[in-house]
Structure 1
Amino acid sequence: MKYCKKCILPDSRPGIELNADGVCSACIGAEEKREAINWEERERSLAALLKEYKAINGQYDCIVPVSGGKDSTWQAYTLKNKYGLKPLTLTYKCKYRTPLGQKNLDNLINIGVDHIDFTVNPDIERKFMLKSLEKNGSVSLVEHMAMWAITLKMAVRLGIELVVWGENPGLEYGGNEKDRGNPYLNHDWIKKYGVTNGTFAADWADDDLTMDELYTFTLPTEAELSEARIKSIFLGWYLRWDPLEVAEFSRTIGFQWAEKPVFGLYPYADLDCDFIVIHHFFKWYKFGITRLWDNLSIEIRNNRLTREEAVNYIKNNPEPIPELQIINLCNFLNITVERFWQIAEAHRNLNIWQQGKNGHKNGQWYLPALVEEFGFWPDTY
């Protein structure tokens, strides 16, 4: 387990690769955004592209998958008000949408867009989510699979040829050079960066979870997408994406921040659903980081923090266990909290964790690489 020399992310995080100088792929991508990309030229190419897809008969110009968060608020507003498009917005309805999440989704809709709130059969979703939690330590796998599939199926069925996603995680959070320069979402991208653990719906089919039950989570084939002439683009490839700038802009048009961060550093992120918090919580067991590490690394890349300041922040700001969100997840999955902690422990990455050494008493788990790199053990979890 080795850490980037510019930010604080380790190479245990998916998508993070260190070059010969010890700099991670996400930091290299951030440098490319500052130095190597002509954003004016990309914005012109976006305007030309969107002009091609602008309908002349009152139909929808594009589909925009939204959550009501800062990014999707920015996406919907930008496409409608800056480029004059008529987007159809679509949301996968999470099972524990927060009151603030609903307010922000209502605000997005009131920008002046049509909207579909898609609810998945809760019995199938529950069964699939428990299966993915037990097997992969992931609750968000199911939500992301549904989001990709529902959006693309709707595009095919309604004949809407353009789908506009937000930022490209392959660029923002770590990806190889080829993937950082890719403006399009396709099956290969979803498998690699779509938070599906490199699987598609068919990989989960068995006697307990049939393909009929997995239909909602099944992507259109590449042939179907090609025949329907569906193009999926990342808006963040054409327009420079910075989470703080996006959040501050969205706030000016009604998006509400939380009084304090729900999890991590930002009071404007992860507001819409309790389950996303559990997704980030499991990173501690699997990758040896928390949401805070991701957020602080973004701040380093945007020159708002130094690496030393980020390390000190972690040292002095322990993160709480998301107990309420864990209880809500257990209630949905019909499991006990004790069972949740058994599952979490089963996904502890023994390649990076050790137990009861170097002064850590009573069998406490710790990350030797973290102690060696930063000289302390955070008082967290």
Structure 2
Amino acid sequence: MDRLPRRLSVDLAPFKAENGPHATRYGLPEAVRFCTRCVISNQRPNSAPEFATKADSLKTTIRFDAEGVCDACRAAEVKAKTDWSQREKELRDLCDRHRRQDGRYDCLVPGSGGKDSFYAAHILKYKYGMHPLTVTWAPHIHTDWGWRNFQNWIHAGFDNILSTPNGKVHRLLTRLALEVLFHPFQPFILGQKSIAPKMSVLYNIPLVFYGENEAEYGNPVDDNTSAKRDWTYFTAPDPAAIHLSGVSVKDLKARFGIEDNDLAPYLPADPAAMQRTGTEVHYLGYYLKWHPQSCYYYSVEHGNFEASPERTPGTYSKYNSIDDRVDDLHYYTTHVKFGIGRATYDAAQEIRSGDITRDEGVALVKRYDGEFPERFFSQLMDYVSLPAEQFPEAARMFEQPILDRAYFNHLADRFRSPHLWAYENGAWRLRKTVWDRLG
């Protein structure tokens, strides 16, 4: 692996041309379309195993049908027709099969103490009589209110194992994920998706509950027909093919001074060990009708959940994904790479849930999507900077180990796709938006 350069030239010519076709990146569809029911575009990448992602990986994207309706909206239709009383019976049967009466934990609930994980753990314990162990993969940098919500979760009656990775390694992987993939949230996702299956093996607790299925947000609608999460999200058949932050494990060890034990928390779970344990990873949202706003109200009522004291940058909400300061930066990067920011994700979900209309969603996206993540930006640049005295080996792999705003903005421009972005009069604009076209 070569040294990461300070600046690579960005050819602006493709971004200035008005007439297509325009070059596309990441395997995205060239023709940008918007769902006729919500505000999501066909550029939304589907969830995929993060440990297989490289700089040149191509994305599969949300599917639109012949009527211009996205898979997530079709999943919402199916959800509205589901017999939830029958699904709850299936949940009770599942709990009855796994419930332990000897004082041991009988299920695992991963989460941060946010509205969704609070709801899941609390209802499993207090309504269905389970004995959950909650497990948390630590955020990069807790927000103050996120930390208080985490404490409120525990004090609502739960044991918790907080897994905090090596701080120096986490900073380095976050910097690499930003530099190589423009995906600074990936190191968190790597641990968050695999921690519960690993703990299942370690503590011999076969039953694991995550919240809602990714199909509710745009993964193939057929994925929602199963209660169980596909093992491909948290296991890897070929360890040699694993990439973390877009870099091979081999290069991480040879070029960045990272050792095997440093990488262990990020690596996928061992499928053979999971089979011996009998690990089953279920979506609670398969059994109970999942509604994020209801989870919020439930967590406020039963656990004093605290919304952010201010609107989250890039969107209009104050209670969704608020525990990690890197969240703001993460959603800004999705806006740069895919033309989809945080307001789009929030509004699309609320339209499908019947909480707002499409017209309201369009207005909210127009007002807030792509807002620069100003509030924590300086702290985040310090976090992903790698001073040579702290990172003597890794810092040599970067021409500019210390990040600043100019470097970040240039990096962002390197990840833009010409089919999404135009450059005019010294400024960037999206070529197509949900508010200037119908569907």
TM over 0.5: yes
Question: Using the alignment, how far apart are the partners of 2:184 and 2:369 within structure 1?
Answer: 24
Q: CA deviation at 1:39?
A: 1.0
Q: Which moved more, 1:254-263 or 1:103-112?
A: 254-263
- Structure 2 gap segments, 5+ residues each: 1-31, 47-61, 386-401
Question: Using the alignment, how far apart are the partners of 2:260 and 2:416 within structure 1?
Answer: 30
Question: Using the alignment, how far apart are the partners of 1:274 and 1:262 within structure 2?
Answer: 10
Preserved contact between residue 270 and residue 277 of structure 1 (Cα < 8 Å): no
1:55-77 residue CA offsets vs partner (Å, 9 max, x unmatched): 12101111111111000110111
1:213-250 residue CA offsets vs partner (Å, 9 max, x unmatched): 32111122222211111111111111111111111111
Work out which of the residue numbers 99, 103, 106 in structure 1 matches 2:151.
106
- 2:403 corresponds to: 336
Work out which of the residue numbers 358, 363, 378 in structure 2 matches 1:327.
378
- 2:67 corresponds to: 21
1:230-289 residue CA offsets vs partner (Å, 9 max, x unmatched): 111111111111111111111111111123322323211122110122111111101112
Preserved contact between residue 200 and residue 218 of structure 1 (Cα < 8 Å): no
Question: Using the alignment, how far apart are the partners of 1:203 and 1:186 within structure 2?
Answer: 24
Aligned: 1:184 with 2:228: yes
Preserved contact between residue 363 and residue 435 of structure 2 (Cα < 8 Å): no
Question: Using the alignment, how far apart are the partners of 1:173 and 1:229 within structure 2?
Answer: 29
- 1:297-312 to structure 2, matched below 5 A, reads 297-312=348-363
Preserved contact between residue 191 and residue 200 of structure 1 (Cα < 8 Å): no
Preserved contact between residue 133 and residue 160 of structure 2 (Cα < 8 Å): yes
- 2:97 corresponds to: 52
Work out which of the residue numbers 31, 36, 60 in structure 2 matches 1:5.
36
Secondary structure at the counterpart of residue 273 of structure 2: helix
* Aligned residue identity for 2:380: L
Question: Using the alignment, how far apart are the partners of 1:293 and 1:178 within structure 2?
Answer: 23
Shift of the 323–347 alpha-carbon distance from structure 1 to 2, 3 Å rule, reads: same
1:163-191 residue CA offsets vs partner (Å, 9 max, x unmatched): 1111112x221121321223212332458
Aligned: 1:279 with 2:330: yes
Q: CA deviation at 1:210?
A: 5.0
Question: Using the alignment, how far apart are the partners of 1:149 and 1:55 within structure 2?
Answer: 24
Work out which of the residue numbers 115, 124, 130 in structure 2 matches 1:79.
124
Work out which of the residue numbers 147, 166, 169 in structure 2 matches 1:121.
166
* Aligned residue identity for 2:41: P
Task: Supply the RMSD in Å over aligned alpha carbons.
Answer: 2.1
Shift of the 3–146 alpha-carbon distance from structure 1 to 2, 3 Å rule, reads: same
Q: CA deviation at 1:364?
A: 2.2
1:6-53 residue CA offsets vs partner (Å, 9 max, x unmatched): 111111011321111110011111111012x21111111011101111
* Aligned residue identity for 1:73: F
Preserved contact between residue 185 and residue 232 of structure 1 (Cα < 8 Å): yes
Residues paired across the two proteins, number: 362
Preserved contact between residue 316 and residue 364 of structure 2 (Cα < 8 Å): no
Q: CA deviation at 1:308?
A: 1.8
Secondary structure at the counterpart of residue 311 of structure 1: helix
Preserved contact between residue 18 and residue 24 of structure 1 (Cα < 8 Å): yes
Shift of the 97–302 alpha-carbon distance from structure 1 to 2, 3 Å rule, reads: same
Preserved contact between residue 90 and residue 115 of structure 1 (Cα < 8 Å): yes
1:334-354 residue CA offsets vs partner (Å, 9 max, x unmatched): 132232222222221223212
- 1:234 corresponds to: 283
- Structure 1 gap segments, 5+ residues each: 193-197, 357-361, 377-381
- 1:195 corresponds to: none
Aligned: 1:295 with 2:346: yes
Preserved contact between residue 114 and residue 323 of structure 2 (Cα < 8 Å): yes
Question: Using the alignment, how far apart are the partners of 1:332 and 1:344 within structure 2?
Answer: 17
* Aligned residue identity for 1:284: H
Question: Using the alignment, how far apart are the partners of 2:136 and 2:205 within structure 1?
Answer: 16
Q: Which moved more, 1:152-161 or 1:296-305?
A: 296-305
Aligned: 1:221 with 2:294: no
Question: Using the alignment, how far apart are the partners of 1:199 and 1:180 within structure 2?
Answer: 27
* Aligned residue identity for 1:5: T
- 1:374 corresponds to: 435
Secondary structure at the counterpart of residue 366 of structure 1: strand
- 1:168 corresponds to: 213
Shift of the 375–220 alpha-carbon distance from structure 1 to 2, 3 Å rule, reads: closer
Secondary structure at the counterpart of residue 208 of structure 2: strand
Question: Using the alignment, how far apart are the partners of 1:186 and 1:17 within structure 2?
Answer: 19
- 2:428 corresponds to: 365
Q: CA deviation at 1:149?
A: 2.6
Q: Which has the higher contact order (CA 8 A, sep 6+)?
A: 2
- 1:247-266 to structure 2, matched below 5 A, reads 247-253=296-302, 254-263=304-313, 264-266=315-317
Q: CA deviation at 1:203?
A: 6.3
Question: Using the alignment, how far apart are the partners of 1:277 and 1:191 within structure 2?
Answer: 28
TM-score of the superposed pair, with normalisation by structure 1: 0.89
Question: Using the alignment, how far apart are the partners of 2:276 and 2:243 within structure 1?
Answer: 21
Secondary structure at the counterpart of residue 233 of structure 1: strand
